[in-house]
Amino acid sequence: MMSLSVSQYTKALYQVSENKSPKEIDFIINNFLKILQKNRQMKLVEKIIAEFSLLFNKKNKIIEAEIISRDKLTIETQKKIEEFLIKKYEIDKVITKNVISQKIKGGIIIKTQNEMIDFSVANQLLKLKRALIK
């Protein structure tokens, strides 16, 4: 018997679950897990979930972003960052997570799946220093 790849399982799961009700999705997932178990492929579950999440987000124009800051962001600041990302990436929705880090002295660093946008004070000072040296 030929075993399927993570991508093949992911695409199949996405296709059969697209536009289904929560009850139908529960049924699909239970059967999907039974198939993985029968095929002795349960070790792929985490990878399939991760890839499914990426595929779902891409198809639904969603990105996930980690916003690193020294202090907790206000709701207003977080909304402005989300609006910035929606325009930048031409998407419909942003799922953000604010990560507090004492390593950052001020400003923010935004990490998405494909990019890191550094608005930290340290980076701004470094850019200023480089400009002054020229």
Q: 86-97: per-residue pLDDT in tens?
A: 999 999 999 999
**108 backbone dihedrals φ, ψ, rounded to 5°:** -140, 160
Strands 93-100 and 107-111 come out as unpaired
Separation of alpha carbons 63 and 56, rounded Å: 10
Look at residue 1 in the predicted model and tell me its pLDDT.
Answer: 52
SS3 assignment, position 101: coil
Q: Work out the mean pLDDT of the chain and round it to a whole number.
A: 93
Average the pLDDT over each of 47-56, 77-86, 91-100, 122-131 and give the range with the smallest value.
122-131
